Amino acid sequence: MATYHGNVTPQGVTSQGNVTSLTQSGSAASAPVIRTIGFSDLHRALQLGWEDFKAVPSHAIILCIIYPVLGLVLARAVHGYSVLPLLFPLAAGFALLGPFAALGLYEMSRRRERGEEATASDALEVLRSPSFGAMLGLGALLLALFVTWVATAQAIYITAFGYEGATGVTDFATRVLTTPQGWWLIVVGCGVGFIFALVALCVSVVSFPLMLDRHASAGEAMVASLRAVARNPVPMATWGLIVAVLLVAGSLPAFLGLAIVIPLLGHATWHLYRETIEPELNPQPLPPRAHRVHKPAADFPANLFPWRRRDDA
């Protein structure tokens, strides 16, 4: 089983046990070293994620309460506007955005790992991360993937049943479960959805924790995730299946179960990152934050044109 002690990465060429590394000369940062993990590491990640959730359950639920609320509102809106076929694609598609939405949970797990107190306000510290811009960039990519998935799911439904909408839940269920077109819809929809989920898993399984922990760029983080999946295809596929099963289970009781499932998976993803990525031996110091000059409101709009103020002086 993989172990870790802090945030460190070796600088030389090593090949010890199940760890391989790439060498960077001089002061250049080395690429993350990918471990070979097993099913026991997945279990450990879930176990540690559950411990984090139990330690700060109220904070985690506050951070994630938007999911069940959004699910209930979504179900009502979909039912009211007779676009019921989009309910499942929308609910399932939220899993594509989960890695980005769980940023605050990663921060809480990181603080607890270091023996620090984790509070809801600490979760917001992720907004001050030097790599937050990179996180937004990758989050935008996942959002684009989500929008593309919903549009694709709608196109698949129209191909099967045309533009006529379902008149209600019973009519929709009858169409999908008792007709050849419905069975085709289930098979094709699940197959295409699997491809979207696979893409999201490959580019984000350890990307956001890596950006938070080592302040990597979005490109570096995605490459590390791809390498992690390539080195551990079976455990990563199993992890994706675990995520899918837990999300479905949490969605069944009117989406309310997601208030537990989402924070559990968020915390567990941080620990999966720790199990998968070899710690850094020589972590790079954080760049100093730029000093913000407080400009009084009385100077507006002159403070929008600083060169004019220097000329006047």
In whole angstroms, what is the distance from residue 165 CA to residue 247 CA?
27
- Residue 144: both structure tokens together: 């684009």
Residue 149 lies in a domain: yes
Pair of tokens at residue 291: 């000093």
Q: Let me know if residue 143 belongs to a domain.
A: yes
Which residues are within 8 A (CB) of 238 and not within 5 positions of it... i.e. 6 or more apart? 39, 42
- Please name the residues in contact with 127: beta carbons below 8 A apart, sequence gap of 6 or more: none
- The amino acid occupying position 18 is N
Q: Is residue 17 part of a domain?
A: no
The lowest-confidence range among 70-79, 170-179, 203-212 is: 70-79
* Distance in angstroms (rounded) separating the CA atoms of residues 26 and 33: 18
pLDDT at 101: 86
pLDDT tier, 292 (very low <50, low <70, confident <90, very high otherwise): very low
For residues 168-184, give the mean pLDDT.
86
The verdict on residue 22 lying in a domain is: no
Determine, yes or no, domain membership for 252. Answer: yes
Please tell me the distance from the alpha carbon of residue 313 to that of residue 302, in angstroms, as a whole number. Answer: 13
Map tokens 């996942």 to a residue. Answer: 142
Do residues 33 and 12 make contact, with C-beta atoms less than 8 angstroms apart? no
The answer to whether residue 95 sits within a structural domain is yes
> Is the pLDDT score of 286 beyond 80?
no
Could you tell me the two tokens for 162?
């045309």
Q: Give the global pTM.
A: 0.74
Per-residue confidence band for 135, with pLDDT thresholds at 50, 70 and 90: very high
Work out the angle at residue 281's Cα, subtended by the Cα atoms of residues 38 and 275, and round it to the nearest 5 degrees: 15
Q: Can you give the pLDDT at residue 22?
A: 37
Q: Tens digit of pLDDT for each residue in 190-229?
A: 999 999 999 999 999 999 999 999 999 999 999 999 999 9
Residue 196 CA to residue 146 CA, distance in Å, equals 8
Whole-number mean pLDDT of the chain? 78
- Domain of residue 250: give its range: 37-278
Residue 114 lies in a domain: yes
- Whether residue 122 lies inside any domain: the answer is yes
- Number of helical H runs and strand E runs in the chain: 14, 2
pLDDT at 18: 47
Average pLDDT rounded to a whole number, residues 23-49: 79
Task: Please say if the pLDDT value at position 306 is more than 50.
Answer: no
Q: Note the pLDDT tens digit of each residue in 236-264.
A: 999 999 998 888 887 776 677 777 888 89
> What total of structural domains would you count in the chain?
1
